[in-house]
Structure formats: structure tokens, C-alpha cells
Amino acid sequence: MMAKRTSNSIQHLCKYWSLQKYVFTALLLLPLSVRSVPVSVRKGRSSFTIGNCVWVVDRPCPDSEIRFYLFTRSNPDDRQYIHIDESWEASNISSSYFNPAHPVKVIIHGYNADMFLTPLINMKGEYLQRANYNLIYVDWSELAHGPCYPSAVHNTRHVGKCIGQLVQRIIDAGTDNIHLVGFSLGAQVTNYASTTVRPFRLKRITGLDPAMPLFITAAADDKLDPSDAEFVDVIHTNALVQGKIERCGHVDFYVNGGIMQPGCWSSGQNPMACSHHRAPDYYAESIRSLTGFWGWSCQSYIYYLLGFCPQNNLQVVAGEDCQPGTEGMFLITTNPAAPFAIGRWSGFSIPQKKDSVLHKHGLNRDPFISDIDQWGKLDGSFNNADQFPTPYSQDPNPADDDEWPYFNHVGTKQLTKVHIKKILEQDRSRFNGDDRLPVASTLATVSSPTQQSPYDHEVDEAFHLQDLRRRLQQKEASVMQHYAMPMYNAH
């Protein structure tokens, strides 16, 4: 009888057909051993609860369970509560640290989380070290806690409506440079914020692994899509599990295939949760990364599964510096641990299995690549062109700020000194003859005795040419030695 009364109460409260499907889903998720579920109605706030799950029916904004907090360079550690109301006068933006001259970033967490989720808080530090920003964090954790996923999905519409009110007050402050960044279910919230402020169109929305459950068959106005902003960029890291596999933006980046992330199977952690949370991890690193998350183009995910998307030179950068106007699908590979970015892909890549075989036989390069590139010009280290940042050309701060910190927390001055010292040591060892390659005695090679530089700090042209000729001869001898090995002469 008690269960029957509960069912009648639920049917009476579900006034809207769109709400009934979420309630039905919630009841299916309840354990079979539970015979009754406590139901309470908050008439003053137009919501009701089933167990611990809050279902918002028709609440107005502002809502005390949806809070906004501001961080700027003036208050990088102490969050400032922002009250948003129906009018500019009733709101307190004008008396806060908010500066309309600076870009606005609105960061929205997802299901069963809050604004203090580690990668989201990491974004604060990265942004404020990069430049001046108004960082507004949305905390709607009271309407998104577990195990109430169906009710959290239902509440996204209300949360988006209140964020839309925030956007309107920011516009009243004198700026429309607004960028919404949503993670998981928070990425789907951005859609409702966008529809609330129409006909105004947001400048940019970034979706970090947008949530998939209960959004597979959703209509365009009920999920993140390219119509929600002038530019929508999306990063996929846990597709088909917690995130969506389908494209959601003008440009979609599928990192390491978009489903499982490297490094998420270690230390006994949940690989699914780890892969899902890599999306904000990657984005936080991209804010100040000099290396960058570069992706190459792919026509579709089906093409990727069929192996039709090899690495190519049509590459764009993902993350904070993704350029508006970029369109298409792109694939990215990363390192298994931070720093994750590996930069722009270039040249030939040797599959890992083949590379391990080469090292087994003592070879550093594929002999077939050596045949078409005898001098290693396709190698990243040719002519000392190692993968190293160029601090002064990319430093956004004044030149006299020698200790401007990069993502790896190394200052400009220290970074440059280390690099120069490395180059000087390489040159010193070369002039002393330390870099001579071992050559088999059976090979016909031409070697010249090591000569000391005629000057301590300068090298004349004749000495430079002679030294270059010696190194080229040694490279040629090394290639010949590779082909002389028995494994290549067997019939």
C-alpha cells in the first residue's frame, strides 16, 4: 500500500511530460529491495525531492542553490560571491572585482562534483598567470549530487537559465567577451544558457567531454551543438562511456582516440573516470603550454576506425588557443602523464613495434628511412634543431620580466641559460672529438684526426668546413654499417 501511495504521489507531481521520463528512469535505478521512497514537496521553491534527489519544477532565478564566485588577479585565492538578480541595480557586479575590460571565463562543473574539482581549480591558476581575466565559477552542486543523475540532467535547464541571467548582467556591465567552459554535464548546461539569452549569441563555448547518458536522442535545443555560440570547440576523452561520441561543435578533438586515455590504467584508479577527467586536465595545461595540443584532420570517426586517418600536415591547436573559425574533426595524441602535450607532428613516424625491433638489433633508425635520408635531415635533432621552446619570441610579458613562469614552472632566464649551456657543451665536446661514432674496422671509412679549434672562442671557415666534412663521412660510414649487418644480407 505504501508503494502504491508513493506512485500516485509521483504521478500527481509530474505535471510536465518531459519530467515524467526522468522520474521513471530514477525509479528504475532504485534498488529492488526498497519498497517506499520518501517524497517531499517544497511549494515555496517549486521543487520536490525523491530520496536525496532534488527535482526543480518551476523555480525563479536567482536561486540560492546556484551560486557564482569571482576570481581575478586582485583576489586570486579568495573567491568573491557574485549576486545576480533580474536587474543590474539589484546585482552586485559593480561593487566586485569584476573588470569589463578583461575577458570573461565562466567555468561550469558537472555531475556529482563542485567548483573545487581539481582540474577546474587548476584552470584558475593557469589563467591568472597568463593574463587578466574575470573567472566566474558556477557552483550548482546541490542540484547535481550523486546518485541522482536523472534529476541532475533534468535540472540542467534551470541551471542554464540562471547562467543566462548572469550573462545578461555581464552584458549590462559593458562587455560581450564571454567564454563558457563546461565539463561533462556542465557542457550540456551551456546549451540552455545559450537559448536563454537569444537572440544574443555567445562568443565561444568549450565543451570538455560533454555528457552522453540521456542526451543521445536529445533535440538540438536540449544539447550542446554548433548553434549555441559563434564558435563551439569540443574535446572528447571518454566517448561511449561518460562522454559523447558524436560531434558537438564547429571543431571536435578526439584525444588518443577519444575513448580511453593512456596512463589511466595505473595505480589502481578507475580508468573510465580518469579518462573522463583528462578533458579538463588537457584544457588546463593548454592555457599556458608552449608545446601545445596539435591535432591532425580526419574526415569522420568511421574513417578513423577504418584506419583512413594517418597523421598529416593539416594540423590545428586545441584548448585555450584554438582559433575561432576552425572547423572539422581532429585527432590528438598525448603523453600518458603531465605534461601531456607533445606538440606539432612532423616527418615520418615509426610504429612502436618496429622501433622496438630496431633497438633489439642495436639500430637507432629504420634502414629504409636511412636509404632515402642518409644524413638524417628528417630527424628532429638534425643540425641541433632539438625540440626546445623559444622563450623570448613567445613571452607575453615585458622583456625585463626575466622570471616569467611557464607551465613547467621554469622562468625565462633560467630556461635560456640552461639551453645555451647545453649548446656550448655540445660544441665543446665536438671540437674535442668526443662525438666520433664507432666504426667497424672492416668498413672502408675516411677519418681525420681530431683537430683543436685554432681559437678558444672562434672557429674559422676552414676549420668549420673540415669538421663538417668529417662528421658527414662518419654518418655515411654509420649507414653502411647498418646495411652490413647479417640480418640485411640473409637470402
Catalytic residues: 184, 209, 276
Grid cell locating 274: 580518469
Whose grid coordinates read 578533458? Answer: 279
- If one counts every other C-beta atom within 10 angstroms of the C-beta of residue 267, the result is 7
Contact 230, 202 (CB under 8 A): yes
Q: Provide the pairing of β-strand 39-42 with 67-71.
A: unpaired
Contact 353, 347 (CB under 8 A): no
3-state DSSP of the chain: CHHHHHHHHHHHHCCCHHHHHHHHHHHHHCCCCCCCCCEEEEHHHCEEEECCEEEECCCCCCCCCCEEEEECCCCCCCCEEECCCCCCCCCCHHHCCCCCCCCEEEEECCCCCCCCCHHHHHHHHHHHHHCCCEEEEEECHHHCCCCCHHHHHHHHHHHHHHHHHHHHHHHHHCCCCEEEEEECHHHHHHHHHHHHCCCCCEEEEEEECCECCCCCCCCHHHCCCHHHEEEEEEEECCECCCECCCCCCCEEEEECCCCCCCCCCCCCCCHHHHHHHHHHHHHHHHCCCCCCEEEEEECCHHHHHCCCCCCCCCEEEECCCCCCCCCEEEEECCCCCCCCCCCCCCCCCCCHHHHHHHHHCCCCCCHHHHHHCCCCCCCCCHHHCCCCCCHHHHCCCCCCCCCCECCCCCEHHHHHHHHHHHHHHHHHHHHCCCCCCCCCCCCCCCCCCCCCCCCCCCCCHHHHHHHHHHHHHHHHHHHHHHHCCHHHHCC
Distance from C-alpha of 470 to C-alpha of 446, rounded to nearest angstrom:
8
Grid cell locating 218: 536529445
Burial tier of 172 (Cβ tally within 10 Å: 0-12, 13-18, 19+): middle
For the range 423-429, what are the long-range contacts, defined as Cβ-Cβ under 8 Å and sequence gap of 24 or more? Answer: 423/384, 426/384
Q: 352 - beta bridge partners?
A: none
